Homo-oligomer: A and B are copies of this chain.
């Protein structure tokens, strides 16, 4: 049994309005950082998973994203998996 670390990004889809990101983009201007634009805010999730090999770990993380971590109607996800032990 190996241990893997998954780093998952869950972001609002491009065609979906991101009001939180829009608000923070506006605040950047007040901070004198008007060069910063198009902020989009999503979730970053890190987790550990025990699996026999990278393929199994990959499939389990994908299942976790699909069934719980991401709302596929409004969000898309991507992840990286690294073996830690």
Chain A residues engaging chain B, CB cutoff 8 angstroms: 7, 9-11, 21, 24-25, 27-28, 31, 33, 35-51, 60-61, 63-64, 67-69
Contacts and interface: CB of A to CB of B under 8 A. Distances in A.
Q: How many copies does the complex hold?
A: 2
B46 A44 contact: no
A60 B48 contact: no
Nearest to A34: B50
B47 A9 contact: no
A11 B43 CA distance: 10
A68 B21 CA distance: 12
A48 B27 CA distance: 15
Nearest to A45: B41
